[in-house]
Amino acid sequence: MNSESIRSDDSYSDVILAKMQKKKRPKNQEFVGFKEKKKEFKQQKRKWEEEKAMNKIRKKMEAEQKAKEEEDLKKSQREKFGRSWTVSIALPGSIVENAQSDEEKTNLSGYIARAATVFCVDEIIVFDELKSITRNEDKEFVNLAVGKRRNGCIMLAKILQYLDCPQYLRKSLFPQQPDLKFAGALHPLNAPHHLRSDVWNDYREGVVRNIAVKDGKGSYVDIGLQKDCQIDKHLLPGVKVTVKIDPNSKEAKRKYIGEAVAPSAPRTEQGQYWGYKTRLVTCLSEVFSGCPYDGGYDITVGTSERGDNVDTYSFPSPFKHLLIVYLNTCPEQGSATIRTEEALWISLSALRPKISASQKSSAST
């Protein structure tokens, strides 16, 4: 082997040895570097977790603040636009018994529904003063009148409920039945909640559809428009529900988004008249004991031709829930008798300005 080849091999070995020495580090140096990196990683992780926790707290506080602002806004809107007070009327179911036929009874019921809607009555209570109905084990009303196919109280209550229901929901909520045989021929109430399909309102009445939804998702509701509305709650199919629609979903292609609210929400939130609720009771005392409002009726007006003149009457104080019982307030009447359905229009016409004056005086104080 010549000298040149030996020098070449030596130089190659030197290069390899230099590379190995360059890569090789002391073990203690490697251990110290790993500990420092681990410590840095833990510190960084702790910092990330603190930032994450702070962001979570900040988002929670922002959500609470936003919810409070929305609630304050709703409260101010309720105080400015909403209506908290209500008017209820109590009628004896026997008033339809004077009619000679089912068709006349239906027309009379429609006459009462029209009066209640025109004067923005919130509740109609039909009470049985003849002990002709009772409740069975399922809390359903049963006719006790002997020899009568239909009971006047039950028939009046059903027709009132039927007329208050928007037309697009009647087929779903009211199957064919004898008490409603002639109800379809009555004039519509044209109440504010009887909305046409081309009219937009933040609130609509609807019925829950039988459509399967994923867990955690709300039901679909038929609200009388071309698209259904998905609400925030899961309800049983066939249930009637008042829906508040999100205006941001107005232009949605597939569905509207909304929430289920109390039937009184349109009245209390925006001051809209939203029809009347019908309540059937077995006796006069149940009119008061079954009152749906907290605190009951704070003012009750019993009307009669033997009472004080309505022209000189004024409410003693602003009321929350007014109840008018019977209804005959015509002073100096020319007829010996005034039918209850006639007295209804007379009484509500006479009391309406007094009701408005009472609430205006409350708002100004």
Tell me the pairing of strands 141-143 and 240-245.
unpaired
CB atoms inside a 10 Å sphere around CB 37: 10
Q: What is the mean pLDDT of each run of 10 residues along the chain (365 residues)?
A: 49 56 52 68 83 88 80 63 91 86 93 95 93 82 72 92 96 92 92 92 95 90 94 94 93 91 94 95 92 92 72 79 76 67 86 83 56
CA 102, CA 230: separation in Å to the nearest integer? Answer: 40
CA 39 to chain centre: 57
The b-or-e profile of 45-65 (16+ CB within 10 A means b, else e) is: eeeeeeeeeeeeeeeeeeeee
Residue 353's pLDDT is what? 87
Find the DSSP H helices in the chain: 3-23, 27-80, 102-118, 152-164, 167-173, 265-270, 285-289, 340-364
Residue 21's pLDDT is what? 53
User: Could you tell me the sign of the dihedral formed by the alpha carbons of 273, 275, 281, 283, in that order?
Assistant: positive
CB contact at 8 A, 128 and 142: no
CA 340 to chain centre: 32
Question: What pTM was computed for the model?
Answer: 0.76
Query: Which is nearest to 242 in space by CA: 164, 298, 179, 314?
Result: 164
Residue 78's pLDDT is what? 54
Residue 207's pLDDT is what? 97
Residue 6's pLDDT is what? 45
Query: Which is nearest to 203 in space by CA: 167, 241, 234?
Result: 241
CB contact at 8 A, 106 and 182: yes
Residue 243's Cβ-count burial label (10 Å; 0-12, 13-18, 19+) is buried
- What are the tokens at 347? 């009484």
Tell me the pairing of strands 229-230 and 256-261.
parallel
Residue 106's pLDDT is what? 95
Rg from Cα positions in the chain: 37
